[in-house]
Structure 1
């Protein structure tokens, strides 16, 4: 049996997008055919490996195009289903009370879409909105402990019942190099920010979106709170099973590739999050770390698309920006669906 019949290419990361594709394939019985390759793997720390530093929740941060709305819905329902079934994949996921605010009124399409499937959704009365806020929504969100979840998925996927998926640290300089042998039938291209420059892809629509976060220990924080501004994002996201740590953010700086921590931004994050949720100002809040990462963004939205290159099949799956954790499972479902004709040539072994 060829373990490189299916290759999932992460290039500078085997992050949440690639892991979700591996999980979807394993659930459909193809785990025994998969090799996941990447220069960085779960457990690593690198400014280009953004997955560990994500706030990792379901939120209204995504766009309003039909694909984004559809992937959000699929992702929320899939993650919620894992939690409610007590699935092993849900170990580092949690249902969490959430309140989100928008400085500018979100589109009617956005509101209609999310209120159809979010749990416990309520529109915030106008009298209860903070100053400068036009719209608010409360609901039950899903929060994830990002680094622990990625490590846990890698561990699960390596088990025999998932197909003993192989994870290999490997630097790939061009898309064609991901076809590891003549037996490789398909490559899932999940290379994130590398899509802009990698030969064989070179997608000019791709760009990094810089973010800076503060990781804090804050035992008083039990809820998710976000404020979507015109040119900023403020968020407070508790991490499940993390000894009361929370992600405080943040920034969405399009095209900014400066990996240095900016002290003035840390101060701004602490000020904004403290105003949004005053319990953060209690004495038991303690800063643990400040980190910078680059969300793999793309003009017109993420690319989930099949392409034949010199007679070989590639399914592109990148450009999710800051929505990889919430939309990634929906994107993975679409990516694997696109590959079904090729996958049908391989024997399956159901979970």
Structure 2
């Protein structure tokens, strides 16, 4: 066992799905003590600032033929597939389910050909406004269950958590997580490395201020429909709108969605909810209660009574794609490695475990450089 004096102290900024998986991955390695420093944790009340709690989180990679992103997405899927299996450590966090993907235009889905039970859909099985479709087995993540699971795993392995709002990265480099709370000596010690997993916050963090980061607002509707036993989405076209139906293990279903770039509006719009219900009913009339469908064609008025919640989140997108890299920051006479892992947009759950591996390897690389 490595003594505490020998351990490398790492502060991870951000406790969304990317921050949690990254912190857990590093904490699991020998010789590291990790502290998550974040303004919002998954156990806190839900806000638009914390996008991870608003995600649909079905695993549908858009890596196409990109080998780096493919490896990240495939590792994440395999990890979730193992966790969700009959003997998996987190069965309750996931739902294994057939996925049906429909496209408004021809698409490159090379990576999806690696998924279990992959098959193209015949023309007579396509939904309205689609020109192609595929099916495969995948996993849906029940995010209100999965995020606390990740946090509990991290804490159980010796990780620490601190609430704090960081204005400039030099605050952390100079004072560690202890600059924001408490008197514990190990938290007051300046860290040996910092990992930035702030999502949209990377745009505003002093010393980072990544102008390529921008929000893409997504609005969803959560309904109670335990009879839905398939996951589906329709995507593509110039508007980039994804219409999707994502069941969860507990019988709730997330339907959506929207793709509103640079829209900072923090609350659900009623007219958008109406549009979502209209679009989803067109491709999946099964969201309406069975007793209504047995009598007539359903309308959106039949779905309103089973709505549990309307919500929205600001996806942390980045113009040049996710940032996964190592840089060195100097403050005074101190120079420490800073690893960046953010900008995954609406695909954080698809990339979380794989990108965490890349980030953890970059941390290790920093400590082995001459």
Shorter-chain TM-score above 0.5: yes
Structure 1 partner of 2:252? 245
SS of the equivalent of 2:206 reads coil
- Alignment partner for residue 150 of structure 1, among 141, 147, 166? 147
**Deviation larger for 175-184 or 51-60:** 175-184
2:277 equivalent in structure 1: 270
Relative to structure 1, is the Cα distance of residues 343 and 149 closer, same or farther in structure 2, using a 3 angstrom cutoff? farther
Residue in 1 that maps onto 2:127: 130
Q: Which residue of 1 aligns with 2:166?
A: 172
Q: Of the candidates 310, 321, 338, which is equivalent to residue 345 of structure 2?
A: 321
Distance across 1 between alignment mates of 2:256 and 2:65: 22
Given the superposition, is the C-alpha separation of residues 153 and 90 from structure 1 closer, same or farther in structure 2, using an over 3 Å criterion?
A: farther
Gaps of 5+ in 2: 177-187, 292-302
CA–CA distance in structure 2, aligned partners of residues 254 and 101 of structure 1? 23
Per-residue CA deviation, residues 95-150 of structure 1 (Å, 9 max, x unaligned), is 1111011101112xxx22221x2001011112322232122110001101101110
The aligned residue for residue 299 of structure 2 is none
Say if 2:222 and 2:255, in contact at 8 Å, map to a contact too.
Answer: yes
Contact 2:96 2:138 in 1 (8 A): yes
Alignment of 1:1-351 (within 5 A): 1=4, 5-10=9-14, 14-30=15-31, 33-44=33-44, 45-61=46-62, 65-84=66-85, 86-107=87-108, 111-115=109-113, 117-159=114-156, 162=157, 164-179=158-173, 180=176, 181-230=188-237, 231=239, 232-240=241-249, 242=250, 244-282=251-289, 286-310=306-330, 311-342=335-366
| TM-score, normalisation: structure 1 | 0.89
Superposition deviation, residue 344 in structure 1: 6.3
| Aligned position for 2:295 | none
Q: Which has the higher contact order (CA 8 A, sep 6+)?
A: 1
* C-alpha distance in 1 between matches for 2:64 and 2:277: 26
Q: Rg bigger for which structure? A: 2
Local SS of the residue matching 2:20: helix
Q: What is the CA distance between 1:60 and its match in structure 2?
A: 4.1
CA distance in 1, matches of 2:36, 2:150: 12
**CA–CA separation in structure 1 for the residues paired with 2:91 and 2:171:** 34
In 2, Cα distance between the equivalents of 1:201 and 1:36? 18
In structure 2, the CA distance between the partners of 1:213 and 1:183, relative to structure 1 (3 Å rule), is same
Contact 2:12–2:197 under 8 Å retained in 1: yes
Q: 1:182 to 1:43 in 2, by over 3 A?
A: closer
Deviation at 1:24, TM superposition (A): 1.3
State the secondary structure of the residue aligned to 2:268: coil
Residue 297 (structure 2) aligns with: none
**Cα pair distance change 1:319/1:343, threshold 3 Å:** same
SS of equivalent residue, structure 2 residue 110: helix
In 1, the alpha carbon distance for the partners of 2:341 and 2:328 equals 14
- Report the 3-state secondary structure (helix = DSSP H, G, I; strand = E; otherwise coil) of the residue aligned with 2:137: strand
CA RMSD, 1 decimal? 2.1
User: Contact 1:103–1:134 (CA<8 Å) still a contact in 2?
Assistant: yes
Q: CA deviation at 1:61?
A: 4.9
Distance 1:49 1:20 in 2: 15
1:229–1:59: structure 2 CA closer, same or farther, 3 Å change rule?
same
Task: Output the CA distance in 2 between the equivalents of 1:280 and 1:43.
Answer: 30
CA distance in 1, matches of 2:252, 2:365: 44
Counterpart contact for 2:64–2:111, Cα < 8 Å: no
